[in-house]
Amino acid sequence: MKIQQQDIAKQHEQLQQEHREAFAFQQLQLDKKDIDTDALIQKIGAFQVAIPSWALGTGGTRFGRFPGGGEPRSLEEKIEDVGMLHALNRASGAISLHIPWDIPKDAQAIKQLADSLDLRFDAVNSNTFQDQADQKLSYKFGSLQHVDKSVREQAIAHNIDVIKYGEALGSDAITVWLSDGSSFPGQLNFRRAFQNTYESLQEIYGALPEQWKMFVEYKAFEPNFYSMTVGDWGQSLLYANKLGDQAYTLVDLGHHLPNANIEQIVALLLMEGKLGGFHFNDSKYGDDDLTVGCIKPYQLFLIFNELIEGMDARGMDHTTDLGWMIDASHNVKDPLEDLLQSVEAILIAYAQALLVDRKALNEAQLSNDTVSCQEILQDAYRTDVRALVAEARHRNGGALQPLKLFRDLEVRNSLIRERGSKTVATGL
C-alpha cells in the first residue's frame, strides 16, 4: 500500500476552496499582528517527529491486546507504514527502532528502504526490561543496577550491540530506559543501585561514536512501584552530568507524578544544555501513553512555549537539536490513525507556541503584570492554527487532511488484504 501523489492532489482539489478561505482569514490575523506568515509556515513545515516502531501495531494494556489486522509483520513493513504516514503528513520523517524487537538483519537493505521513503533513523532503544528467549541471565532484579556483575555486563553488552545496530543505519543516539528499581522498601540499597547503574552507563557511554548522544530516560514508577533507579529528572540529570557532554536527559510526558510542572522541568534542562530528547504522549493518570494532546492540550502548548523560549535563548535549531519522538500506543484505535492524530497535535501546539508574543510577555513579566502574562499566552493558545499547519503540509507535498485521506483511501482495508487480519506486530 502506497499513498500516491495523485491521491493527495485529488483531495487538495476537493478541499482547496474551504482551505483557502480558512487560510486567508488566518493570514489576515497574522498580518495584523505583524507576524511573517511564510517564515512561520517554514518552521512548521520543517518540524519532524519520529515514529516509534513499537506503536505501529495495536498496543496493549497489561490486560489485553486486540490486534486490528494488517499490522506490520516485519521491520520492512514497519518502515513502510511510517513511510505512508510521512507521505500523508510530511512530518513523520524518522523512525525510532527498538532492539531486539526490530533487529535489522540486512542493514544496507533496510537503510535503502528507509531512504526511498525519505525516512531517517532516530534514536535506537535498548531493552533490558524483558528477558529474551536466548538470554543467559535474568533481569528480574534489574539490569544496569543488578547486584550481580555478570547481569550488569550482559546488559551493558546489549546496549553496546544496540549502538552498533544504530550505527549501521545512520542513527545518532541511543535511548536508555531502565525499568530498574525496587517494589518493596528495603529491597535495594539506593546508593549501591545508583552506583552500579552509573558505572554501567559509563561503559555504554564509552562505546558511543563521536557524534552520538545518549538519552537517559526517567520514569517515576512502573514496573517498579517503590523506587525507580532513574526515577525523575534530578536523577537523570545527575547521571547525564556525571557521564559527560554526550549524555542528556530524555523527558517522556507520561513519566511524572500527577500534576508535575513539566514545562518548568523542560525550561531548566534546556538552561543547563542537558535536554536531549522528548517522548510525546498524553495521560490522565500515569504512563497512559494516550494520543498526544487528547487530555491536556494546554499543557502541551505550555511545554512548547518553554521549549521554544529555551531553544531560542541557546540558539538551537528547533528541528534538529532535540530528538522529538512519539511514545504512545493503545488498544482501541487504529494505530496509524492514532499516530496521525499525535503528529497533528504536536504541530498545532508547536505552531501556537510560535505565535506567543515573546517581547510583550517578557515586558509583562518584568513589570509583574500577571494578568497580561496570562492573556498573552492564551491569546496564542486560543488561535485556531489548523489552516496554517495544513498549509505547511501542503507546501511540503502532504495532504491537507491526512486522517481523512487515510480513511477515504481505506488504507487499513488494503493493509488487511495485503498482510492478513491476524497479524501482531512486535511491540508493547
The site for ligand AOS (CB under 6 A) is made up of 54, 98, 125, 177, 217, 219, 252, 279, 287, 327, 428
Of 129 and 190, which CB lies nearer to ligand AOS in the complex structure? 129
Q: Does 334 bind Zn ion (CB under 5 A)?
A: no
For the bound state, the minimum distance from the C-beta of residue 41 to Zn ion, rounded and expressed in Å, comes to 30
Of 11 and 125, which CB lies nearer to ligand AOS in the complex structure? 125
Considering CB distances under 5 to 8 angstroms, the limit depending on partner class, which of ligand AOS, Zn ion, none binds residue 428?
ligand AOS
Of 263 and 287, which CB lies nearer to ligand AOS in the complex structure? 287
DSSP per residue, 114-154: HHHTT-EE--EE---SS--TT-SS--TT-STT-SSHHHHHH
Considering CB distances under 5 to 8 angstroms, the limit depending on partner class, which of ligand AOS, Zn ion, none binds residue 125?
ligand AOS
Of 194 and 221, which CB lies nearer to ligand AOS in the complex structure? 221
Q: Is 340 helix (H, G, I), strand (E, B) or coil?
A: helix
In b/e form, how buried is each residue of 99-135, taking b as 16+ CB within 10 angstroms? Answer: bbbbebeebeebbebbeebebbbbbbbbbbeeeeeee
**Which window, 29-37, 94-102, 144-152, 324-332, contacts Zn ion (CB under 5 A)?**
324-332
**Burial class of 153 by CB neighbour count within 10 A (0 to 12, 13 to 18, 19+):** middle
Q: Cα dist. 330→196, 303, 326 in Å?
A: 34, 23, 13
For the bound state, the minimum distance from the C-beta of residue 17 to ligand AOS, rounded and expressed in Å, comes to 42
For the bound state, the minimum distance from the C-beta of residue 226 to Zn ion, rounded and expressed in Å, comes to 18
- AA letter at 96: S
Cα 18 from chain centroid (whole Å) = 31
The closest alpha carbon to 177, from 49, 279, 272, 263, belongs to: 279
**Burial class of 140 by CB neighbour count within 10 A (0 to 12, 13 to 18, 19+):** exposed
For the bound state, the minimum distance from the C-beta of residue 275 to Zn ion, rounded and expressed in Å, comes to 15
Q: Does 287 bind Zn ion (CB under 5 A)?
A: yes
For the bound state, the minimum distance from the C-beta of residue 60 to ligand AOS, rounded and expressed in Å, comes to 11
For the bound state, the minimum distance from the C-beta of residue 61 to ligand AOS, rounded and expressed in Å, comes to 13
For the bound state, the minimum distance from the C-beta of residue 392 to ligand AOS, rounded and expressed in Å, comes to 28
Considering CB distances under 5 to 8 angstroms, the limit depending on partner class, which of ligand AOS, Zn ion, none binds residue 54?
ligand AOS
Of 327, 338, 344, 391, the residue at the interface with Zn ion (CB under 5 A) is: 327
Of 177 and 212, which CB lies nearer to ligand AOS in the complex structure? 177
Of 328 and 347, which CB lies nearer to ligand AOS in the complex structure? 328
Q: Is 347 helix (H, G, I), strand (E, B) or coil?
A: helix
Of 280 and 301, which CB lies nearer to ligand AOS in the complex structure? 280
Of 71, 102, 252, 309, the residue at the interface with Zn ion (CB under 5 A) is: 252
Query: CB pairs under 8 A, 24+ apart, for 203-210?
Result: 203/156, 203/160, 204/156, 204/159, 204/160, 204/163, 204/174, 204/176, 205/243, 205/244, 205/246, 205/247, 207/159, 207/160, 207/163, 208/163, 208/174, 208/246, 209/163, 209/167, 209/172
Considering CB distances under 5 to 8 angstroms, the limit depending on partner class, which of ligand AOS, Zn ion, none binds residue 146?
none
Binding site for Zn ion (CB under 5 A): 252, 279, 287, 327
